Amino acid sequence: MTKMVTIYGGSGFVGRYITRRLASEGWRVRVAVRRPNEAMFVKTYGVVGQVEPILCNIRNDASVAMAMHGADAVVNCVGVLNELGKNEFSAVQAEGAERIARLAAEQGITRMVHISAIGADSESDSQYSRTKAHGEAGVLAHMPDAVILRPSVIFGTEDQFFNRFAGMTRMSPFLPLVGADTRFQPVYVDDVAQAAVRGVLCHAQPGVYELGGPEVKSFRALMQQMLEVIHRRRIIIGMPFLAARIMAGVLDIIKFVSFQLFPNHILTRDQVKNLRRDNVVSDSAKTFADLGIEPAALESILPEYLWKFRPSGQYDDIQNSAKNLRTDQL
């Protein structure tokens, strides 16, 4: 009989890649999301009826339990980078993760993969990092054999990292960075998905894995590499943390006094706290090597989706070649 997996957040950035991979492995996939009508594209990842998006509210026991009913495994990809409405860090990343694990244990499900993040720390001054740690603890309390994945910043076609900053280059000759010297170890989204699938298939030992790509670079160096890919020259400005805290504080206040009519999608105080810390794999952690996965390098992936930010888009290389040809002829 075909096995079934429920993927919470299975239409999101990371979740869609896990959904596609598990469908190709022959699993029936139930994609539990808040807005199923916006997740219909996942149905194309398998044959008719193999992948189905369903309504689920991760803050509600009955909704979460119904979504996993009859499943052989569960994967939790739900997380938030910015609080909005009832989707607070604690409700989603701590209570939500614990809820999925608790209900999975009650239903006799033995396989669980949980997507967390490098930097998860119950003692952190960042609420994002604290709730990630609390979520991990909640998962392990009910599912001690769970596989927990902690990726560094994730890149890929739909990412909100390189796409965001590449988009900024269209509007300004300057590229302001908070934490320009903070180090990251970017990891390709499909490599994270491959690790998650290893966990579902029981091809990974239980425990916590920190996932990073083959290179560690500063924020500034990553932006310089991005600029080379999109063929643009911009002045990178390192914003002092004091100025960043003031700016983020003002934006957070506007969000609060407007009753979230003007949400802060630019920079929050919690994000400033996170940007003070390096986001790299620790020396003692289990890594891709323990999963038998060789992560992809940035230079092999970035041109595949950042070309649209070049001055002439997909024709940029052709135009440059034509200019060189005319120069040679002269």
Q: What is the pLDDT of residues 115-134, one digit of tens each?
A: 999 999 999 999 999 999 99
| Sign, CA torsion 265/270/272/275 | negative
43-90 pLDDT tens trace: 999 999 999 999 999 999 999 999 999 999 999 999 999 999 999 999
Q: Tell me the C-alpha distance between 117 and 225, whole Å.
A: 24
The H or E element containing residue 25 is none
Question: How much of the chain exceeds pLDDT 70, in percent?
Answer: 96
The yes-or-no verdict on residue 306 having pLDDT over 90 is: yes
pLDDT, position 321: 65
Q: Tell me the C-alpha distance between 67 and 61, whole Å.
A: 10
Structure tokens at 192: 């994270």
Break the chain down into helix, strand, coil percent, rounded to 5: 45, 15, 40
- Cα 57 to its chain centre, rounded Å, is 20
CA-closest candidate to residue 121, choices 282, 9, 286: 282
Cβ atoms of 31 and 42 within 8 Å: the answer is yes
Q: Tell me the C-alpha distance between 115 and 18, whole Å.
A: 11
pTM of the prediction?
0.94
Question: What mean pLDDT is reported for the chain?
Answer: 95
The yes-or-no verdict on residue 42 having pLDDT over 80 is: yes
Cβ atoms of 196 and 113 within 8 Å: the answer is yes
Question: How much of the chain exceeds pLDDT 90, in percent?
Answer: 93
Taking CA atoms, 196 is separated from 8, 210, 329, in Å, by 13, 12, 54
The yes-or-no verdict on residue 152 having pLDDT over 90 is: yes
CA-closest candidate to residue 78, choices 30, 33, 124, 125: 33
The yes-or-no verdict on residue 243 having pLDDT over 80 is: yes
In one-letter notation, the amino acid at residue 11 is S
The yes-or-no verdict on residue 329 having pLDDT over 60 is: no
What's the CATH number for 4-157+186-214+279-295? 3.40.50.720
The mean pLDDT value for 166-173 works out to 96
Helix (H, G, I), strand (E, B) or coil at 24: helix
Structure tokens at 132: 């990630």
Least confident of 97-106, 206-215, 216-225, 259-268: 259-268
